[in-house]
Structure 1
Amino acid sequence: MLIFTENKVLSSHLLPLINQNKTIGFIPTMGALHKGHLSLIEKSLIENDITVMSIFVNPTQFNNKEDLEKYPRTLEADVAKIKKISSEVIIYNPTVKDIYENNVESQDFSYDGLEFQMEGKHRVGHFNGVGTIVKRLFEIIKPTNAYFGEKDFQQLQIVKKMVSKHNLPVTIIGCPIYREKSGLAMSSRNERLSDESREKASVIYEILKETKKLFQKKSANEVVKIVEEKFKKMPDFKLEYFEIAEESTLLTCKRKNKTKKYRGFIAVFIDNIRLIDNISM
């Protein structure tokens, strides 16, 4: 299995393959891999000649220094998981200096307003950090296809918008959310939960499924108020937001329109650990 830590060496390895018109599938991650990440590898292996996965905890997309420091870093275990699927996967595990040189700062991006909704309201500058790292990785790897999980649905839409606005020659492919048996959306942050909190957190998906049913009969505003009231009665949780938004614009649903697709988005704290999830309405 090839593991690269320097972008110039990786680019030199990939360039002859690109010149042979080999297709490259790319999965950008921050490590602490779970089955959701591994499913992206499996899809890429089927759809491309070469598969590259990056493992890099990107400092510019964290607006909370403590969260950055506590983010799980499990490279050895991650490599072992990837090997079980295929030893042909190329891993890019750069240092901060290799990515940013001596300027660890985000570029400014405009996503036509997508960046100001939900996560953007609560994590100022987050999507500038996402755009900066994803664009940089695309420049290094030059993928044909790039794979993102729908758990971070807003991020998926942001990346699609960035690719469109910057005319980047890569196809962005969204993949379904993987869930634990309890229904909890798989996330690297789940590893920081106690067993008890992990079990309790399964209620998030139960509530999301309930909102999907309620949305057939009630207005978006009514459904939001029901969710807010539910969480007020659960002292172990702190609801940051629940919103029903239109999928393409991410604008909050004011009045239902049968020609539009909507999705419910949620961010919740338990044990001071922030979990996000979403569901198609």
Structure 2
Amino acid sequence: MSMETSADIAGLRATLDRFRQKGARIGFVPTMGNLHAGHISLIEQSVSRCDFTVASIFVNPLQFGAGEDFDTYPRTLADDQSKLVEAGCNLLFTPSTDQLYPRGLEAHTKVTVPEVTRHHCGAHRPGHFDGVSTIVNVLLNIVQPAVAFFGEKDFQQVAVIRKLVFDLQMPVEIVSGATRREDDGLAMSSRNQYLSAEDRPVAAELYRTLQHIASRIEDGEKNFLQLQTEGLENLSRKGFRTEYLNIVRADTLDVASERDEDIVVLVAARLGQTRLIDNIRIIRSHD
């Protein structure tokens, strides 16, 4: 099949309006490019659930802090286009920074989502989620999809986007897709390619640590603070510099108690120069 690529907001809107008038259900997958199997699984979900699928590729400067990897973030447009065509995407939107932030980053209206951004990545990357919520708001307003798809590897990001959409009464369904993993369990990420040959096998220990914590909770362990401490110690022994390892409620991302039934363990850690994030969800029943 063919796929249209557009960098023009007005042209994109005109195309989507034509399909909407025919009653088409539009799905949207926003990305920063350098697509892997996790991204493609979201495209495939959209293709299966919607009549017309739009993907976007935009490396958003507003969500990168000083000293982060905005300039070196991998940009692989030609390869991404091939993968999107194969997955059945109908239209790729590739806007420029000037189009999305016509008055510059400093002058642009910012969208802040309170509460759910306080901790975890929000505490370690000041301003990051303002950048995420602002660009997602802009892109959803441009595309106006019926459904938008996001990956669960960025669990806190999905929570932020769900709250954004709920609070601003946006008529879009947010669907999250399960994290795709390498054979050894490492969560797929565009940043994995930063890992050195020596660090790459060690990186899988991040998910193994989460699995161990989840298994202990499922077996009835109630001392979450002890589990966090043991997890941090294990990661440190393996060479990680851990930013956080938190056991939280899945709905609010606040500290979990032993009575909570829907729990997620969130982790962010650096290995060499690479920042990795991951999570594991535990749903328990108290019979």
Same fold, TM-score > 0.5, yes or no: yes
Residue 280 of structure 1 corresponds to which residue in structure 2? 281
How many aligned residue pairs are there? 277
Instruction: Using structure 1 for the length normalisation, give the TM-score.
Output: 0.95
Aligned residue type for 1:280? R
Partner of 2:253, secondary structure, is coil
Residue 91 of structure 2 corresponds to which residue in structure 1? 90
Residue 224 of structure 1 corresponds to which residue in structure 2? 228
Partner of 1:245, secondary structure, is strand
Q: 1 CA distance for matches of 2:241 and 2:199?
A: 13
Deviations 1:172-200 (A, max 9, x none): 00110100001000001012222332211
| Alignment of structure 1 residues 150-189 onto 2, 5 Å | 150-189=152-191
Aligned residue type for 2:198? E
Residue 245 of structure 2 corresponds to which residue in structure 1? 242
Q: 2 CA distance for matches of 1:268 and 1:210?
A: 17
Partner of 1:185, secondary structure, is coil
Q: 2 CA distance for matches of 1:22 and 1:65?
A: 43
Q: 2 CA distance for matches of 1:170 and 1:16?
A: 19
**Displacement of 1:85 after TM fit?**
2.0
Partner of 1:280, secondary structure, is strand
- The answer to whether the Cα contact below 8 Å between 2:162 and 2:174 also exists between their aligned partners in 1 is yes
- The answer to whether the Cα contact below 8 Å between 2:57 and 2:93 also exists between their aligned partners in 1 is yes
Aligned residue type for 1:197? D
- The answer to whether the Cα contact below 8 Å between 1:107 and 1:128 also exists between their aligned partners in 2 is no
Higher mean C-alpha displacement, 22-31 vs 3-12: 3-12
Give the direction of change, closer, same or farther, for the CA distance of 1:59–1:110 in structure 2 (3 Å limit): closer
Partner of 2:11, secondary structure, is helix
Give the direction of change, closer, same or farther, for the CA distance of 1:231–1:82 in structure 2 (3 Å limit): same
Residue 25 of structure 2 corresponds to which residue in structure 1? 23
**Displacement of 1:65 after TM fit?**
4.0
Q: List, as ranges, runs of 4+ consecutive aligned residues in structure 1 with deviation greater than 6 Å.
A: none
| Alignment of structure 1 residues 60-139 onto 2, 5 Å | 60-86=62-88, 88-105=89-106, 107-139=109-141
**Displacement of 1:110 after TM fit?**
4.2
Q: 2 CA distance for matches of 1:137 and 1:37?
A: 17
Aligned residue type for 2:154? D
Q: 2 CA distance for matches of 1:104 and 1:111?
A: 18
**Displacement of 1:252 after TM fit?**
1.6
Q: 2 CA distance for matches of 1:18 and 1:66?
A: 39
Instruction: Using structure 2 for the length normalisation, give the TM-score.
Output: 0.93
Q: Which has the higher helix share?
A: 1
Q: 2 CA distance for matches of 1:95 and 1:77?
A: 19
**Displacement of 1:12 after TM fit?**
1.3
- The answer to whether the Cα contact below 8 Å between 1:107 and 1:129 also exists between their aligned partners in 2 is no
- The answer to whether the Cα contact below 8 Å between 2:222 and 2:258 also exists between their aligned partners in 1 is no
**Displacement of 1:115 after TM fit?**
0.8
Deviations 1:133-161 (A, max 9, x none): 00100111110000001000111011010
Deviations 1:208-234 (A, max 9, x none): 100112223141111111011112322
Unaligned runs of 5+ residues in structure 2 are: 283-287
- The answer to whether the Cα contact below 8 Å between 2:206 and 2:235 also exists between their aligned partners in 1 is no
Q: 1 CA distance for matches of 2:55 and 2:111?
A: 24
Aligned residue type for 2:259? N
- The answer to whether the Cα contact below 8 Å between 2:116 and 2:252 also exists between their aligned partners in 1 is yes
> How much identity, in percent, do the aligned residues show?
37
